Structure 1
Amino acid sequence: MQQNITVDTIPYQQLPLTGQFSVFELESFKTELAGIPHRHHDFQILWFTKAAGDHIVDFVTYELKNNTIFLLRPGQVHQLPAKGIFGFSITFTEKFYFTNKHERETLYDFTTLFDDSQEYAPIFISKPSAENLGMIITLMRQELSAQFEGSSSSVIKHYLNAFLLLAEREKKHNVANSPALLNHDPRIIQLRRLVDKHFRMEHQAGFYAQQFSLTPKRLNEITRDAISKTVTDMVHDRLVLEAKRQLAFSNRSVKEICYELGFEDPAYFSRFFRNHAGTSPHEFRETMFK
C-alpha cells in the first residue's frame, strides 16, 4: 500500500453494470478509484490476459501474470495497478445467476468457486482454455448488444455458467489448489456466509452450530476436516480482516472499531488483534501509511 489515503468508509467502485450483469475490457474502464483500494457490491471475475504489477486482495499481494483469473466476492477490498492491465471484467449479482429455486438445484453453484475460506489463490489459465474463454466473452458481448427481449439474460446466464465451469476445471488443474478442492464440503460455504453475516455480534461457535442443528464439537470436526480450522478460527479470521480494513481505510478510532466488531473492552480488543495480527491496532495503522 503506497498511497496515504484515509476515508470514512471503504469506497465502492461503481461498475458499468447492465441490469445485473456486465462484461467489459479492463483497459477501457477508468474511474477515480483506479490504483487505490476499493470494493464492489457484486461478484466479479477479473481475467487478466496481459498484466504486470501487483494485485492486492484483502492485504495479500499477488504478482500479476498473463492469463490469470481472480474471483472476488461482494465486499472484498482489492487494489489494481492504475495502468498496464489488459483483459476483461465480468460482474454479476447472485440474483441474476439464480433467479429461482429450480436454478439453484440445476445450475452449477458458482459460490463454491468464489469461496476463500480455504487459502485464496488466483487461477492460472492454459492457452487452449484461454481461447475458449475468449470465445465465450465474445458471445456474451454479442448477446448484450443484441438485447433480445426475454431471451438475453437466459442465454447470457448459460454462457456465464460455461465460463465458470471452465474456470473451475482450470482451478483443479492448478496443482496448489487441487487437494483443497478434493475435500470440498458445501457446509463450509454455508458456514462462511453465516460468519460473514453475523461475525460482528456472534463470536461463539455455539451460535453457528445451532444454525446447522449440530453441536459445536461436531461442527468443529467438519471444519477441521475441510479447512484445518475450527469455527472460532473462522470467526476470528473474519474479525481480524474487518479490523484491518477499518484501520487501513477509515478514520474510525480503535475504540469505535472495537465496539463495531462486538467487543466491549478496547484493551481486550487490542490484545486480541495483536495475538492474531502480530502487531497492535495503532502499529498496524501506522505501517499502512508509511
Structure 2
Amino acid sequence: MIQLEPISGVFNRERALQAIYPMRMLIVKQADGFLCMNSGDYELRDKRIFFIPEEGLVRLEGRITAGYWLNFSSTLYTEFLLQHLDPLAKNLFLNLSFRDLSIQESVKTYSLIDQLKREIVEEKDTRFLAQYLSLFLGFTAGLDGYLAALTLDELQQVLRFKAILDQYYRVERSIQFYAEGMGMSIGKLNKFLDRVLGKSLTVLIKDRIMREAEELLTHSDFSIDQIAAILGFEQTVNFTKSFKRHKGISVLQFCKLV
C-alpha cells in the first residue's frame, strides 16, 4: 500500500528509480542536480518536493545528500481526493509538479515523514494510513493553508482525531467518546476543534457521514435503505432529510446526476 525509503547518494540518469506503487513523490532535503523525466529535466533543490505522475520513468542526475522516496497505492490516494475536491488536488499527480518549502514547512514535513515511517513499521491499518497520507499531501502541496500555522503537536492531534473519527463516525456521536480517545476533556476538545478545524464535532460527523453517503450512492449497488442502515440511521427518512439539508438536493436527484 505504501513504500517510504530514505534516499541518498550519487545518481546518473542511466538508472531509473524503482517504485512498487503508482503515486510517487521525491522529498528532497539536500541535493543538487536534476530529476529527469520524459517531459524534461527539473532542478533538484534543497527543501523541494516533487509530485510525480504515474507514467514515465524517474531518473536522477546528481547528488542527493538527504531525502525520501515515497510511493503509495491509488487506494490511499483516494482518501485525499475525497477530502480535497478542488482541481488543484485532482491535478496534483497529473503532470510533474513541485513545491519549494519554507524552512518552517520543511521542518514540519521531515518530522511528519519520520512519524509516517514509524506508523508504517508499526503496520497501522489502511484507514489510518490513508488519513495520515491525506494530511501529509494537503500540507506539503499547500492545499490546507490552516495546517501551516499549526505546531507539530497540533498536526499530530489533527491526525489522531481524523483517524478516530474515520473509524467510529458511523456508530459514535458522543463528544465524551472522542474526548477520551484524544486524551482531552470535553471542553478542551471542543476548543481544539473550533480553533483548528473551525467546526464542532456534530458538524464534522455529519460532514463525514454525508461524504460517505455520496461515495456509496455513486460507487455501490446498495439501495437507499441499505445505505441509510450502513450509515447508522434507524429510519431511511432521517437519512434522506439529512442528505437534502446537507447537499441542497434530494437523494433521488443526486442519483440522477451521477
Q: Does 1:241 align with 2:174?
A: no
Aligned length: 170
Pair 265,110 (structure 1): closer, same or farther in 2 beyond 3 Å: closer
- Residue in structure 2 matched with residue 115 of structure 1 by the alignment: 135
- Residue in structure 2 matched with residue 229 of structure 1 by the alignment: 199
Q: Does 1:194 align with 2:164?
A: yes
SS at match of 1:115: helix
Per-residue CA distance 1:124-144 (angstroms, 9 max, x = gap): xxxxxxxxxxxxxxxxxxxxx
Displacement of 1:239 in angstroms is 0.4
Displacement of 1:182 in angstroms is 0.8
| Residue 218 (structure 1) aligned to one of 170, 188, 191 | 188
SS at match of 2:239: helix
Q: Aligned partners of 1:254, 1:100: CA distance in 2, in Å? A: 38
Per-residue CA distance 1:205-253 (angstroms, 9 max, x = gap): 2321122343433211101111111112221111011000000111111
- After TM superposition, the structure 1 = structure 2 runs for residues 141-160 of structure 1, keeping only pairs within 5 Å, are none
Structure 1: tracts of 5 or more residues without a match = 1-14, 30-38, 47-55, 70-93, 102-108, 124-167
What letter is aligned with 1:60? L
Question: TM-score, length-normalised on structure 2?
Answer: 0.53
What letter is aligned with 1:252? F
SS at match of 1:27: coil
- Residue in structure 2 matched with residue 60 of structure 1 by the alignment: 85
| Residue 258 (structure 1) aligned to one of 225, 228, 239 | 228
Q: Does 1:22 align with 2:16?
A: no
Q: Aligned partners of 1:253, 1:97: CA distance in 2, in Å? A: 36
- Residue in structure 1 matched with residue 61 of structure 2 by the alignment: none
Q: Over the residues paired in the alignment, what is the CA RMSD in angstroms?
A: 4.0
What letter is aligned with 2:178? Y
Q: Does 1:181 align with 2:148?
A: yes
Q: Aligned partners of 2:210, 2:163: CA distance in 1, in Å? A: 16
SS at match of 1:26: coil
Pair 278,269 (structure 1): closer, same or farther in 2 beyond 3 Å: same
Displacement of 1:254 in angstroms is 0.9
Q: Aligned partners of 2:77, 2:86: CA distance in 1, in Å? A: 20
Displacement of 1:42 in angstroms is 4.0
Pair 196,179 (structure 1): closer, same or farther in 2 beyond 3 Å: closer
Question: Which of the pair has the greater relative contact order for Cα pairs under 8 Å at 6+ separation?
Answer: 1
Structure 2: tracts of 5 or more residues without a match = 4-18, 23-52, 58-72, 99-115, 124-128
Asked whether the equivalents of residues 225 and 236 of structure 2 are also in contact (C-alpha less than 8 Å), the reply is yes
Q: Does 1:99 align with 2:121?
A: yes
Q: Aligned partners of 1:59, 1:250: CA distance in 2, in Å? A: 21
Q: Percent identity?
A: 19
- Residue in structure 1 matched with residue 253 of structure 2 by the alignment: 283
Question: TM-score, length-normalised on structure 1?
Answer: 0.48
Asked whether the equivalents of residues 254 and 282 of structure 1 are also in contact (C-alpha less than 8 Å), the reply is no
Structure with more of its chain in strand, by fraction: 2
